[in-house]
Amino acid sequence: MAGDRHEPTSGWAPTWALGRAVLLTGLLLVAAVLLGRIDLVVLATPFALGTAYGLRRRPTGLPELEIGTPDAHLVEGSPMAATIAVVNPDPVSYDMAVVRTRMSRWLRVEKAGFGGTGVDVSRSGGADRPFVTSVPSGSAVDLELTGTALRWGRHPIGPAGARVAVADGLLVSRAVITDPVRTRVYPRTEPFEAVEAMPRAAGLVGAHHSRRPGEGGELAGVRVFAPGDRLRRIDWRVSLRARQLHVAATLSDRDAEVVVLLDVLAEAGRSGGVRGAASVLDTTVRAAAAIAEHYLHRGDRVALLEYGPAARRLRPATGRRQYLTVLEWLLDVRAESSPHEPYDQVFGPQLLSSDALVVVLTPLLDERSAQMLARMARGGRFVVAVDTLPADLPAPKGRGWAEVAYRLWRLDRDTMIGQLREHGVPVVRWAGAGSLDQVLRDVARLATAPRVGGR
């Protein structure tokens, strides 16, 4: 929970009801004196007594607000819940408390109410509407908000504000506002499976078959027994025929390093949340989470890089802790254009491993992205480009040459993709499970092929 506590000494103001009661009492008493009518005094008595009775106990402190989130780690499409507690630390009861809060547009509130009596607010303004309740002395009342988290990111709940009325509505507090609380909504990982083929497996242990001999499950052949070989590796059939001990040689199982590079130079499309259309950034973040989850569960090392002005990076690591770190890292991904070339800023101080598989998630909307892919391919990197541009991106509707310009841009982009493929950069569209199977097979086949000219 988080909240602000305010306890000023002069946080209460008279209402119009108190002003009218005092004014009416005064006018009646003045008229009674001037006109010499006792009946006007009798008429003013209830107003005076009622006002005095209402003000007999005045509050000393202001109310407190606390915003609570039972589950601060959500996933796209999962139910969300939040509470806004109105705390009354004073011995005087609050006759009426009016609470209002702001919510992120990606946290859709469907039911809201005090004390578990939630009402449907999805068609009546959502959470951005006043809610009214009474608060007994020395207690707290919770405004419960329930709904659905629609999109990944760090979404604010609040700020929330409240004003209370006491003394039968004669006094009202100034607005008490609490700071917003940000809740984490992690991207929903799309189903993704890939073949075991990797360009080069460079670690010591892992699940991928390498070309290096060692302890593994892939048979590499039979060779003569040497000191240090294990007895269980002896191939007795070959040994009896050759009258010399032979052992079965195997290839070692090693892990691989996967670098997921996110192109954040441009954004396109309009995000509709988890149940609507996906923008470039939505596809990029969800695909990165799915790829990282797949390879981390296989025991590989995964690193993340941003191709943009911020040039954020996440060092390579493995295990569940790295997966949670990846999800946290992805929450801060933002699309940001830059007039400068970010290549040296991203790859200059950090040399990528020559054996790493670089998966670039890019919409190919900026010519610098294509140049970056071509540079890495010419440098001998194992690069796979994943096209994140929405397939159903609508054409601009306007007069003049808008439609023609859109068609020309499409043709120019297709030409750019063809040139990348000529440079040896495979470009595939992200489609969930099996998106990279054929591409990874081709990259692994090229990595294991003999090099011409000793290169």
Nearest to 290 by CA among 198, 187, 184: 187
Mean pLDDT of 373-395: 84
DSSP state at residue 6: -
DSSP state at residue 299: T
pLDDT at 205 (0 to 100): 43
Handedness of CA 198, 202, 207, 210 (dihedral sign): positive
Q: Domain segments of the chain: what residues?
A: 12-57, 64-186, 210-252, 257-448
Which two tokens mark 36? Answer: 């010499």
Handedness of CA 427, 429, 435, 438 (dihedral sign): negative
Which two tokens mark 309? Answer: 């002005």
92-147 pLDDT, tens digit each: 888 889 999 998 989 988 888 887 666 766 655 556 788 888 889 888 899 889 88
Mean pLDDT of 72-89: 89
Instruction: Give the whole-angstrom CA distance, residue 176 versus residue 160.
Output: 8
pLDDT at 51 (0 to 100): 81
Instruction: Give the whole-angstrom CA distance, residue 266 versus residue 248.
Output: 54
DSSP state at residue 298: T
Question: Is the bond leading into 159 cis (omega within 30 degrees of zero)?
Answer: yes
Instruction: Give the whole-angstrom CA distance, residue 318 versus residue 298.
Output: 9
Contact 74, 80 (CB under 8 A): yes
Work out the pLDDT band at 260, boundaries 50, 70, 90.
very high
Contact 198, 234 (CB under 8 A): no
Output the furthest CA–CA distance in the chain (Å, rounded).
Answer: 139
257-448, CATH topology level: Rossmann fold (3.40.50)
Phi, psi of 99, deg, nearest 5: -115, 140
CATH class entry, domain 64-186: mainly beta
Ranges 342-346, 349-353, 377-381: which has the least confidence: 349-353
3-state SS assignment for residue 83: strand
More confident position, 409 or 119: 409
Work out the pLDDT band at 38, boundaries 50, 70, 90.
confident
Which two tokens mark 140? Answer: 């707290």
More confident position, 199 or 265: 265
Nearest to 43 by CA among 57, 61, 31: 31
The whole-chain average pLDDT of the chain stands at: 80
- What stretch of H or E contains 423? none
SS (H, E, C) 318-372: CCHHHHHHHHHHHCCCCCCCCCCCCHHHHHCCCCCCCCCEEEEEECCCCHHHHHH
